[in-house]
Amino acid sequence: MNPIYFATQFDRSAENLFQCPQDATAEVAFAGRSNAGKSSAINAITRNRKLARTSKTPGRTQLINHFLVDETRYLVDLPGYGYAQVSKSKQKAWQASMRRYLTRREALRGVVVVMDIRHPLQDSDWALIELHQQGEAELHILLTKSDKISRSKCKQALHHVQQQLETSGIEATIQDFSSLKGDGLDDAHSVLDNWLFDRALARE
């Protein structure tokens, strides 16, 4: 567990790539379906329940939200996707915005795709992963709400997702996670440490 994340603060919201922080040396983006628990995961990782906006209404995150970990390193909350009531025009706008961010953002070291462990790899998740593959960032799969199922089913879900990714030729690390219980927090911090600090320092 790395306590540096517990001091993370909101920095800015951006409508597009050009409004993102220009001083960033490294950042990790969180993406996920609108009901996958993405904001709750960010809040659990930073131990700040008010950092990322959570709502019972899916799709509240509409902007690219940057949270400052230290002077030049950021966590990023990307707009939620896959919500049925979002119009096709908004879906296309989201895809265009995400493609620009995922393929052109030089500071982006890794993408954490958040999925409900009970409903992983939906069509919209694959669409996001396909966009991710067009860029250079690494990929981590965070299967949330693991407290909702038994340990045996959790292991089955992890194995199933890993197999699906390998079959599709997708390189990614994967873990289960519970925002409610804090399960998987150490593993999540280790992934972030590697992307934000170890490799960032190697580049400096």
Pick the CATH number of 3-203 from 3.80.10.10, 3.40.50.300, 3.30.565.10, 1.10.1060.10: 3.40.50.300
Helical ranges in the chain per DSSP H = 38-46, 88-104, 123-132, 151-167, 185-193, 199-203
Q: What is the pLDDT of residue 59?
A: 46
* Regions of the chain short of the pLDDT cut 70: 54-61, 83-86, 199-204
Say if CB 1 and CB 193 are below 8 A apart. Answer: no
Q: What's the predicted TM-score (pTM) here?
A: 0.91
Q: What is the pLDDT of residue 203?
A: 47
